[in-house]
Chain A
Amino acid sequence: GAVVSQHPSRVICKSGTSVKIECRSLDFQATTMFWYRQFPKQSLMLMATSNEGSKATYEQGVEKDKFLINHASLTLSTLTVTSAHPEDSSFYICSARDSGGGSTDTQYFGPGTRLTVL
């Protein structure tokens, strides 16, 4: 149980284009999903918290107009990197909290998306 999928797993795009990453909880409902980015040998950095049916909450320093998040259903959240630049190249990982999992904060992660902007 508690499987999260992420698509695509790897994407290469040209500078200035937009890229959409999907995160799905496959066997549970997730009212809350999280988007992280991770640089090599570094800790997970939370970008934003995505709540179903409402606006995402962005962490300090993360541009909401650049990283558009949509959480339209209990099983799907999307992250769109708009006007991507080479410095946006990173490993993007989503996670989901099982809404039926009680009060704990256990997060179930997707396999990640490797974004390379040329």
Chain B
Amino acid sequence: SQKIEQNSEALNIQEGKTATLTCNYTNYSPAYLQWYRQDPGRGPVFLLLIRENEKEKRKERLKVTFDTTLKQSLFHITASQPADSATYLCALTKGNYQLIWGAGTKLIIKP
């Protein structure tokens, strides 16, 4: 069955450094992959979408890569700030507009 894996352990990063989160998937070849941010007690917020024919996508301090050979996406936040602390979810297209979700990685940016 289709499976998405994100590091379940919280990631602690010093303010100003680059945070890198990983999303691995198996038994699947998605047309695109998405990253969302979720704060406690809130719904997820869409950040970036990257298609299978795109190697890299950028938006301000965010960068996403998509390696369909490794079946992996990396999500980078450069010049990280305490306000970037949240749980980051990756999601893959399942078809019929449905998404398959990873469990998310909690990112903590320390001042």
Contact = CB atoms under 8 A, between A and B. Distances in A.
> Interface residues of B: mostly helix, strand, loop or mixed?
strand
A41 B36 CA distance: 15
Interface stretch (A60-68, A73-81, A102-110): A102-110
A85 interface: no
Contact of B43 (A95, A97, A104): A95
Interface stretch (B20-28, B56-64, B91-99): B91-99
A105 B103 contact: no
Interface in A70-118: 91, 93-95, 97, 104-112, 114
A109 B101 contact: no
B49 A104 contact: yes
A7 B71 CA distance: 38
Interface in B1-58: 32, 34, 36, 41-46, 49
Contacts, number: 53
The range of chain B's interface size is 20 to 34
A12 to B, nearest CB: 15
Contact of B46 (A34, A46, A108): A108
Q: What band does the interface of chain A fall in when counting residues whose beta carbon is under 8 Å from B?
A: 20 to 34
5 contacts: A46-B98, A49-B96, A95-B43, A106-B34, A110-B43
Interface of A: 2, 4, 6, 32, 34, 41-44, 46, 49, 91, 93-95, 97, 104-112, 114
